[in-house]
Every structure is written in structure tokens, then in C-alpha cells.
Amino acid sequence: MTLKKIGHMIHAWLVKFWVPLSIVVALVTVAIGTTMVLLHREQVTVKIENIPIHSKKGPTAPTVGVLKPGEHLQILQRTGGWYQVRRENESKAWVAGWLVERSKPLNKLTPLSESTVVLDPGHGGSDSGALSTNNKYEKNYTLALAKRVKKQLEKRGTRVIMTRSTDKLVPLAEIPEIAERNQADLFISFHFDSAPEANSASGYTTYYYHKKNQSKRLAQAINQAISPNMPDDMHNKGVDFGDYLVLRDNSVPAILMENGYINSDRDFKHMQSASYQNKIAKSIPTGLENYLETR
Ligand SMILES: [Zn+2]
């Protein structure tokens, strides 16, 4: 067979098969492109200072170093917001994924920045919760307060999960599951109390159920942090055991805050005000930081 003949054969073959051949080439190009994009997504570049890395997942795991901005990390696995990464020096470590994805600098990076906190605004949707003497719903105030707390926590870099962000009913049994599923470190449920008779009770209480999983200590830390910032006529009823499903069925350190009596006109006046809600919202990160420090 001469070279000329081979040339003719290839030419004939190309003429005959150019359509399927083009399709194959196109598909291979798309496949390579997609792989490149996917591989790229498994990489992240550190943008902010002082992100700690750990030998295991979670803020309490031993710290093995600190990342520098500009460092490229390969993401090996993701769970509960955490990444297992391979560093440029080939070593492996765990890091809070939301912090390595973050570009806005943090004033201070603390264990709270590395924590996942679930906020549960009590009631919602068809469940209005308790009523004020002028028929205002508890569900609206729990949501407003939780949103303010979220804002304060996010300023500190915390990963915040809300059980609801709108006026909807989340079945009670699902609430502790949200904490488990997101591998939360802390859980806070927000409520306002109600007395059988209007204007017969007043004040705020911080409830826990489990002692073993540090919930009682968490309740104490939060109660201590909010108490100096509360209005003078708001009585601190302290920390108490409370048999609530959202606490009982929760393996995460969990508390429930009753932030005043909605059917006390005096308490309700406070509850409605942004300044009262902000006092609580700004005290909670302090309480959480104290709790995390002494862990
Ligand atoms: Zn309630």
C-alpha cells in the first residue's frame, strides 16, 4: 500500500464519518471542561486572616495551625459546614468551611466564629403562640428577636441556621432534627411567656433540659450575659429546668429563652421595642463566648 493510497483512505474515511467524529470531539471537549470546572470548585483560596485549622472536625478539636490569606486549599470532603482540606505542603487538616469561603475580614476570630448555632424562633404559621392583652401574636416577636440575634452572630463569623425565617409552622419534632442534621454546636429557642391570668406574672427565664451535654452551663452563661443589660423593671427569674421537646430531644447543648411575659402589659411594652430586642441580641454572643471559653 502506497502513502498515496493511505491518504485517500483517510480522506474517504473522514468524509464518511465527519459527523459522528465531530460529535465525539465536542463531547470530549465538554467532558474535559466540566471536569476542570468541578476540580476548580474543589479548591478554595483563603481570603481572611487567622483562620485556625484543626486535626479533627469542630471548634473544640485540637488546633494544629493557622491559615494565611492567599493559601490554596484542596477540599477533600465536606460535612456540617466543615471542610477537610489538603494544604499546599500536602498536610491535611479540618477548617470551618464558611470561614475559608469568607472574603469580609473579621475583627476577631474566636471559637464562636467557628461554631454552628441553630436559632429557633418559637411557633409560626398556624401556631401563633401566646397572645398579648391586645391580641398580638408571640410568633412575630420570636422571629424578630431571632433575626436580630442572627445578625449579631454573623458579625462574629458564626454559621447561623434558622429553623424558620418566615411566618411558617415547623413541626416540633423536626426542630431538634435541624440541629442534628446541620451538626450544630449550640441551639437556642426563643419564646415569650404567658401567665394563666393577664398581668399576673413578669420577668425572663432561661431553660435547659440536659445537664450532661452542658446545656445547663450554657443556660447559666446566657442568663448571666443578658442580666446586666436588661431593663431595671425586668425581673430575672434565673435558670431553670424546662421539659420542652426541643430541648429534650436535642443532643446539641440547647436552651430555651422566655424573654418576658407577653400577657404582662409592662413586659410586652419592652418586647415590642427594638432597643429591648437588641439588648438581648447583643448579649447572646457574649454569653456564648463565655460558655465556649470555659468549655
Ligand atoms: Zn412560646
What is the model's pLDDT at position 8? 87
CA of 141 to the centre of ligand 1 (A): 10
CA of 193 to the centre of ligand 1 (A): 6
CA of 261 to the centre of ligand 1 (A): 10
What is the model's pLDDT at position 40? 59
CA of 169 to the centre of ligand 1 (A): 13
Listed in sequence order, the residues at least 6 apart from 143 whose beta carbon sits closer than 8 Å to its beta carbon are: 121, 124, 164, 165, 166, 167
| Cα angle 251-285-231, degrees, rounded to a multiple of 5 | 115
CA of 259 to the centre of ligand 1 (A): 10
- Which segments of the chain are extended strands (E)? 43-45, 51-54, 63-67, 72-79, 82-86, 92-96, 116-121, 159-162, 186-193, 204-208, 236-241, 254-261
What is the model's pLDDT at position 281? 98
Q: How large is the average pLDDT for residues 75-99?
A: 97
CA of 123 to the centre of ligand 1 (A): 6
CA of 87 to the centre of ligand 1 (A): 47
What is the model's pLDDT at position 38? 66
Q: How large is the average pLDDT for residues 116-132?
A: 98
What is the model's pLDDT at position 146? 98
> Do the Cβ atoms of 192 and 129 come closer than 8 Å?
yes
CA of 102 to the centre of ligand 1 (A): 35
Would you place residue 18 in the very low, low, confident or very high pLDDT band (cuts 50, 70, 90)? Answer: confident
CA of 260 to the centre of ligand 1 (A): 11
Q: What are the tens digits of pLDDT across the range 232-274?
A: 999 999 999 999 999 999 999 999 999 999 999 999 999 999 9
Q: How large is the average pLDDT for residues 210-228?
A: 96
Q: Provide φ and ψ at 290, rounded to 5°.
A: -60, -40
What is the model's pLDDT at position 137? 98
CA of 55 to the centre of ligand 1 (A): 40
CA of 44 to the centre of ligand 1 (A): 42
Q: Quick one: how far is CA 262 from the chain centroid?
A: 28
Would you place residue 2 in the very low, low, confident or very high pLDDT band (cuts 50, 70, 90)? Answer: confident
Would you place residue 56 in the very low, low, confident or very high pLDDT band (cuts 50, 70, 90)? Answer: very high
Q: What are the tens digits of pLDDT across the range 148-166?
A: 999 999 999 999 999 999 9
CA of 192 to the centre of ligand 1 (A): 5
Q: How many CA atoms lie within 13 A of 33 on its CB side?
A: 6
Would you place residue 198 in the very low, low, confident or very high pLDDT band (cuts 50, 70, 90)? Answer: very high
| Per-residue cell: 122 | 418559637
Average pLDDT, the chain: 95
More confident: 174 or 19: 174
CA of 152 to the centre of ligand 1 (A): 22
CA of 212 to the centre of ligand 1 (A): 25
CA distance 35 to 31: 6
Does the pLDDT value for residue 48 go beyond 90?
yes
CA of 142 to the centre of ligand 1 (A): 8
Domains parsed from the chain with CATH numbers? 43-100 (2.30.30.40), 116-293 (3.40.630.40)
3-state class (DSSP) for residue 192: strand
CA of 155 to the centre of ligand 1 (A): 27
More confident: 13 or 171: 171
Does the pLDDT value for residue 19 go beyond 90?
no
